[in-house]
Amino acid sequence: MKILITGGAGFIGSALIRYLIRETDEQVVNLDKLTYAGNLESLAECGQSPRYAFEQVDICDRAGLDRVFARYQPDAVMHLAAESHVDRSIDGPAAFIQTNMVGTYTLLEAARAYWQNLSAERKAAFRFHHISTDEVYGDLYSSRDLFTEVTPYAPSSPYSASKAGSDHLVRAWQRTYGLPALITNCSNNYGPYHFPEKLIPLMILNALEGKPLPVYGQGNQIRDWLYVEDHARALYRVVTAGQVGQTYNIGGHNEKQNIEVVHTLCELLDELRPRDDGKPYQTQITHVQDRPGHDLRYAIDAGKIQRELGWMPRETFETGIRKTVEWYLNNLDWCRRVQDGSYQRERLGING
């Protein structure tokens, strides 16, 4: 199978591509605009594989998309390209509407035009897999409920609203035009190659640099944490075995308050890279004003994907977070190139 992956230079996309090249025989076409969050260094190990190709294309560029579909003739699309940082969406929502909604619309139309001209056999086998977030469901504040695949949408931020809109577009194209689409909604991912503005890498790197560890409010916000390599396995399982028209929630079964996550990171760093002065890293924690509209709790019920497709996470939070901290400690050069912007000036691993 040849899979076209949009946003393959991002955090989850690169983890998916690394998994596919390492663990399967599939061919991969990575289509990425290479915004600030796209880093081809995360795919350096894949760059020389004959089963990997890269195309620098914006998903809003219909002509570019048509060219890629015509050249590579994919059997499936896995759509991960998105603006994804909540704080950035609050400061500048326009880019989120453009990429997440207009871009998804443009990609759907390009995929539909391509799919309609396939042979009957290839048309029946084609899949459009849209990768989304649990944030579309809103806030589980004051409830012990879990998000299921039929939880009503109630997005809180410009980011989650734009992702909710893209989910609705995919469902409409499946229902109206028959495009064989599937949707997955995942909980918070963490692991290697995560962009340093996100919570876990930010805390690790700030701690090592002696900077404050900023926690929104009291840090009581609860998230379900999913190790990114577990997510990659789930995505491949869905695109190969999922049922057209269905939604699958993907979660890590690891509900943690943000402050718990920060404390765990501090304790691991105390063990693995203690401060020169012997003080605990927790002394660097500072509490800052909470962001507007901040949801208190997200939690995924991942029972459907377990029952129907046999997927479960392999990593507990304890094993996954230790692997993550160890990876960052061993890859500080990668982090520094992201922090100083040199990764954008030294694009690696390009072929195709």
Asked whether residue 279 is assigned to any structural domain, the reply reads: no
Residue 280 lies in a domain: no
In which band, very low, low, confident or very high, does the pLDDT at 346 lie, cut at 50, 70 and 90?
low
CATH code for the domain in which residue 174 is found? 3.40.50.720
- Taking only the tens place, the pLDDT of each residue in 225-263 is 999 999 999 999 999 999 999 999 999 989 999 999 999
For residue 135, indicate whether it is catalytic: yes
pLDDT, mean over the chain: 94
What lies within 8 Å, CB to CB, of 214 at 6+ separation is 206, 286, 287, 288
* Structure letter (DSSP) for residue 102: I
Q: Kindly state whether residue 348 falls inside one of the protein's structural domains.
A: no
Active-site annotation holder among 52, 137, 159, 227: 159
Taking the C-alpha atoms of residue 281 and residue 285, their distance in angstroms, rounded to an integer, is: 8
Task: Note whether residue 262 is domain-resident.
Answer: no
3-class DSSP state of 1: coil
Instruction: Round to whole Å and give the CA distance between 247 and 39.
Output: 29
Reported as a single tens digit per residue, the pLDDT across 35-92 is 888 899 999 999 899 999 999 999 999 999 999 999 999 999 999 999 987 888 999 9
14 occurs within a structural domain:
yes
What whole-number distance in Å separates Cα of residue 191 and Cα of residue 42?
Answer: 12
Does 205 reside within a domain? no
Which of the following is catalytic: 26, 134, 167, 295? 134
**Is residue 134 annotated as a catalytic residue, yes or no?**
yes
Determine if the pTM surpasses 0.85: yes
Token reading at 98: 């453009």
pLDDT band at 291 (very low <50, low <70, confident <90, very high): confident
Q: 250: helix, coil or strand?
A: strand
Q: Choose, from 135, 167, 229, 255, the residue flagged as catalytic.
A: 135
**Contact, 174 vs 181, CB < 8 A?**
yes
pLDDT digits (tens, 9 = 90+) for 8-40: 999 999 999 999 999 999 999 999 999 888 899
Bridge-based pairing of strands 255-257 and 222-227 is antiparallel
Residue 140 lies in a domain: yes
Domain range for 31 is 2-194+225-253+295-315
What total number of domains does the chain contain? 1
Cα dist from 105 to 60, 71, 274, 298, whole Å: 8, 21, 49, 27
